[in-house]
Amino acid sequence: MTSIQSIKAIQVLDSRGLPTVSCNIALDSGANAMAMVPSGASTGTKEALELRDGDSLYMGKGVEKAVDNINNIICPVLIGLDPRNQKLIDQKLIELDGTDDKSNLGANALLAVSLAVSHAAAKDKNIPLHSHFSDIYRDITGDVTSPNLPMPMLNILNGGEHADNNIDIQEFMIIPKGASTFKEAMRWSSEIYWNLKSILKDNNLSTSVGDEGGFAPNLQSNEEAIQLILQSIEVSNLEPGKDVFLALDCAASEFFDGTNYNLLGEGRSLDSDSFASYLESLVDKYPIISIEDGMDEHDYDGWKTLTNKIGSKCQLVGDDLFVTNKKIFKEGIDNGLANSILIKFNQIGSITETIETIHLANLNNYKSIISHRSGETEDTTIADLAVGLGAGQIKTGAPCRSDRVAKYNRLLWIEEEFSSLSLFNE
């Protein structure tokens, strides 16, 4: 049996220039792997706790405590264990932390170790990381996956918490559904992105970008953002609603005040029913096939209304609503909220729990979309997770900025090397 020989964590920087945790694991077989954790800006209130130092360094955002927790508390317990047994290692991490929200050692500490273990084990087995994730899914759930290349959702226009413009909806994404390969999906997306840039320039609008690499101009309304994207698809000689579709992430919790949804950029305020009707009107008017966090994470009545209104014709994705947490997700399923779930492993803090949540989605016919965070690194684990679990969809930002493109580039290599895998499209 191979065993863990050493674990070493350090503080590194993420795509926003803020500290995050990086962990390296060495095995006695000689295999060695490193992973880094991402960080959100529009976080759900029930996410596992990201441990920050709160002192005078890095505006309080240092992660030296999380790093020390790995080096001094986690490391001694995991030395000698088998890295191929992801479930056992994650169990040890969860027990060692001992809290529901990982607030003792920090979800950023736990996840960094959990990810690095999976990378080291894949290297030790001499198989690609995505194949190892398929194996872990089988070990944990007893079921098998159908690996594929995920359909990308690319956020090409940023608003909300991810940009300093006046757009309230956080993400305007394109889905190149008509593409027959991942390579073609990326070419279309890059061309649309560049044509959008030209259109913005021609209209004297800003071409600076937000946290996820999408443009962040000031506009008259959310609908104007949609119209500019539709134009950029057409200029790319592609047909909206046939070749390329649209998706939104409203991140509605960010502009809900407990009673109303305040679209500050448009100078209007809508109650829950009216906001659901507004989203329905967008779906009826434009080729929008997916809406994430259309309602606030606590507005369960609003979620029910929205799901009843458009759940049969539109993918409705719970992000802040479910926070990749099996227990919270189960309650949502039982109450008929949404029909899909966004998967972010740092919302829950371990590979095992992430996989259990995806399994629950599969058992209940909810779609899973594997997702980055707005604060990212060059770590590409989510690309392999999406492939190995056959999730079918990934959202990881614009086709621009290396923290986003690293994931797409990893998928381009997987497509090249594994001809048996095809682009998911149902």
State the residues that interact with ligand 2PG by CB under 6 A.
40-43, 171, 212, 249, 251, 319, 342, 371-374
Instruction: Give the C-alpha separation, 380 to 383, whole Å.
Output: 6
Closest to ligand 2PG by CB, 174 or 238:
174
Which of 50, 171, 212, 356 is catalytic? The answer is 212
Which of 123, 344, 367, 407 is catalytic? The answer is 344
Closest to ligand 2PG by CB, 147 or 349:
349
Contact partner, 297, from Mg ion, ligand 2PG, none, Cβ < 5-8 Å per class: none
Assess contact for 166 and 158: CB atoms under 8 A. no
Assess contact for 123 and 32: CB atoms under 8 A. yes
Contact partner, 40, from ligand 2PG, Mg ion, none, Cβ < 5-8 Å per class: ligand 2PG
Q: Is 344 a catalytic residue?
A: yes
Shortest distance, position 320 Cβ to Mg ion, whole Å: 6
Alpha-carbon distances, residue 385 vs 259, 307, 339 (angstroms): 38, 28, 21
**Residues at the contact surface with Mg ion, assessed by CB under 5 A:** 249, 292, 319
Contact partner, 254, from Mg ion, ligand 2PG, none, Cβ < 5-8 Å per class: none
Residue of minimal CB distance from ligand 2PG?
40
Shortest distance, position 395 Cβ to Mg ion, whole Å: 8
DSSP states along 13-60: E-TTS-EEEEEEEEETTS-EEEEE--B-SS--TTSPP-----SSGGGG
For the chain, the straight-line distance linking the first and the last C-alpha, in angstroms and rounded, comes to 41
Closest to ligand 2PG by CB, 43 or 118:
43
Residue 257: its H or E element? none
Shortest distance, position 268 Cβ to ligand 2PG, whole Å: 23
Instruction: Give the C-alpha separation, 45 to 321, whole Å.
Output: 9
Instruction: Give the C-alpha separation, 380 to 394, whole Å.
Output: 12
Shortest distance, position 346 Cβ to ligand 2PG, whole Å: 9
Contact partner, 232, from ligand 2PG, Mg ion, none, Cβ < 5-8 Å per class: none
Return the closest-CA partner of residue 372 out of 211, 194, 256, 210: 211
Closest to ligand 2PG by CB, 117 or 394:
394
Residues in the chain: 426
Shortest distance, position 206 Cβ to ligand 2PG, whole Å: 20
Query: Rounded to 5 degrees, what angle do the CA atoms 118, 124, 128 make?
Result: 65
Closest to ligand 2PG by CB, 46 or 373:
373
Residues marked active site are found at: 212, 344
